[in-house]
Amino acid sequence: MLKRIFFIITLICMVAATSFAQNANSSTTRPRTSGTPAPTKTPTKGTPETPQTELTPSPRTGGNRAGTRSVPSAKDVVTVFNSLIAAIEAANVGAVTDTYWNSPQLVLFNSNGSVTKGWEQMRKNREASYPKLKDVKLEVRDMRVQMLGRDGAVVNFLWTQSQTYDGTPESVTGRTTLVFRRIGTAWKAVHLHSSPDSPDQSRVLPSERTNPTPTPTPTPALTPPPTRAP
């Protein structure tokens, strides 16, 4: 009886010791936790979570890009020139004066030898003369256009103008150089130099006259007839 009781007590002690050992082992392997959360892994540069930024800024583009900006050409100058010729034939003061640069610096060397200074004076001259004009015909010949970069051009040509002025028909020929400049988006005539084909030779240097005074040819001496022998 005593052996049986001792065996039961021994068995209970062994079971209790095994259970205590298991609890001790589980407490040493449990991970410790702190109040600070574990750091989050930073995504790689260029991934969808963090878009890659452009280090070099893109060049700024204006409203007029090089691909769409219109390049001035001789064709644009000829269009304005043809409008000026049509306005002269129509004796249209507004259309003619609008072709010129509206500035006091405008200078016109006219074919009659006079000089017009300033846009206002040019307008007044045309307002005084154009109402007396009728049947104006302006024939342009040998016109040439030379571009001076993007904003300048020179037009030179020969011309014949016929008209009726104050009831009297008249006609004259001449040559003209027009200087155009692009102001903003419009081409304007900023200078004119016009001269007649046949200037007054008395106003030209003798060495440059096209019709110099001919040098008289000396009259040859008369040879007396031979004397006959008696």
What is the CATH classification number for the domain harbouring 138? Answer: 3.10.450.50
Q: 52-78 burial by CB neighbour count: b if 16+ within 10 A, else e?
A: eeeeeeeeeeeeeeeeeeeebeeebbe
User: Does residue 130 fall inside a structural domain?
Assistant: yes
Q: Is residue 83 part of a domain?
A: yes
Range of the domain at 126: 74-199
Q: Using one digit for the tens of pLDDT, what is the confidence trace for 147-181? A: 999 999 999 999 999 999 999 999 999 999 999 99
Per DSSP, 39 falls in state P
Tokens 């750091």 locate to: 39
- The domain tally of the chain equals 1
Q: Are residues 136 and 89 in contact, defined by beta-carbon separation less than 8 angstroms?
A: yes
User: d(Cα 118, Cα 176) in Å, to the nearest integer?
Assistant: 19
Structure tokens at 186: 């419009």
Spatial separation of the C-alpha atoms in residues 151 and 180, rounded to whole Å? 8
Let me know if residue 8 belongs to a domain. Answer: no
- Residue 203 phi, psi (nearest 5): -100, 5
Question: Which residue positions in the chain have pLDDT lower than 70?
Answer: 1-70, 211-230
pTM: 0.61
- Is there a domain that residue 62 lies in? no
